[in-house]
Amino acid sequence: MPQHILVVGGGVGGTIVANLLARSLHQQEAEITLIDSSGKHAYMPCWLYLPFNQLSAQSDQLIRPERDLLNHQVHLVTGEVQKIDQKNHEIHVRHHLELDEIVGTDGASEAVYPYDYLVLATGARLVSSDLPGLAEAEDKWHHFYSAEGSLQLREVLHTFEGGRIVITVGGIPYRCPPAPLEFTFLLDEWLRKRGLRDRTEIHYLYPLPRVFPIESVAEVAAPLLEERNVHTTIFFNAEAVDTERKIISSLEGEEIPYDLLVLVPPHRGAKVIEESGLGDEQGWLPTDRATLEVKGQLHIYALGDATDLPVSKSGSAAHFEAKVVAHRLIAAIRGEEPGNGEATYDGEVMCFLETGQHKATQLVFNYEHPPRPPRPSLYYHMEKQLFNRAYWHLVPQGLV
């Protein structure tokens, strides 16, 4: 009898795991099902470029059908996991029905899926209500953390004639720690090209005692911000936003006025993780840093943004973690000990940081070794652009 492996989440982490399993396991060994609420796969790194018109809203680099990225042996279920019943080893899914199935129903149906092994790759969720003042005035502040948000920000930037732009984060952790810095550098460049830089003050506010969580990266980024005449305020933990008076205030007691606020919304883990009682108070899954098993649970693994691991919430981390989860699951299904090589995760992350003016640097690090970013250059900018294009053909498939 094949074992049932359920993967929840069709982002980069879940998709790679499902594809790696399908490539290695025979159908008699395992039946692999991936459940995703939208059935679509978004490539978030491209959202950074939308506000500056460096990518069109219609670009096929932004989103593709999940089915097109999956090995044919993976069953895809489009539906929302509503409940994880770890005691009975089953999950409850609410499906969205096709038009011809809808008659006599409310457009949805529920089903229960049993599992032998469960992989949780449910990512992160934006919760603007976690920062007072945001949820009640969604159109009065801006972000680039969704395709829609980035496109709205593009509209606003294209009618912007000067003033004070404040860039900050609504809390930690958030996806892709370098993204607010990258946005700041690209914004500086964009304003210069449009002849608006002299009429614009850029303020970068950050909650930590430096401009980036990792010291070696902050040491590279801080002089670049200074060089571009960006005002920085550290130890700024956003406490509330008054969108009428256009002021953001901090726990430290500062008030900073703005004309345009670009704020990374507060993040939490998926709702189902919070509701299942598996997550911590922010909904992140307590995860073993080496084996990626959910602590205290049997046969449940977690990866990517959904975890509480002390690494960047990044596609890159999810990518490296997926190999470990797949490796361990294959061994478990075959009743073998996980071998060497990819049996444990060492905190590996590799990502790029755009510094504007067609330059970028590269961050390579793990739990033990912090990054030593090389001097920003055209080479790393081109590598990042190349990676963004190659992504769709190599990464979700688990080919790299």
Ligand X SMILES: Cc1cc2nc3c(=O)[nH]c(=O)nc-3n(C[C@H](O)[C@H](O)[C@H](O)COP(=O)(O)OP(=O)(O)OC[C@H]3O[C@@H](n4cnc5c(N)ncnc54)[C@H](O)[C@@H]3O)c2cc1C
Contact footprint for ligand X (CB under 6 A): 8-14, 35-38, 44-45, 47-48, 80-81, 121-123, 144-145, 175-176, 179, 270, 272, 304-306, 313-316, 318, 351
Question: Nearer Cβ to ligand X, position 44 or 69?
Answer: 44
Nearest distance in Å: CB 192, ligand X: 22
Please state, in angstroms and rounded to a whole number, the distance separating the CA atoms of residues 63 and 349.
23
Count Cβ atoms within 10 A of the Cβ of residue 339 and give its class: 0-12 exposed, 13-18 middle, 19 or more buried. Answer: exposed
Question: Nearer Cβ to ligand X, position 176 or 224?
Answer: 176
Which residue(s) pair with 356 in the sheet?
359
Which residue(s) pair with 126 in the sheet?
267
Question: Nearer Cβ to ligand X, position 122 or 250?
Answer: 122
The answer to whether 305 and 123 have CB atoms below 8 angstroms apart is yes
- Core vs surface per residue 176-194: b (16+ CB within 10 A) or e: bbbbbbbbbbbbbbbbeee
Q: Which residues contact 239 (CB under 8 A, 6 or more apart)?
A: 131, 132, 249, 250, 251
The answer to whether 242 and 235 have CB atoms below 8 angstroms apart is no
Nearest distance in Å: CB 169, ligand X: 12
Question: Nearer Cβ to ligand X, position 11 or 246?
Answer: 11
DSSP 3: E
Nearest distance in Å: CB 95, ligand X: 11
Nearest distance in Å: CB 45, ligand X: 4
Nearest distance in Å: CB 239, ligand X: 23
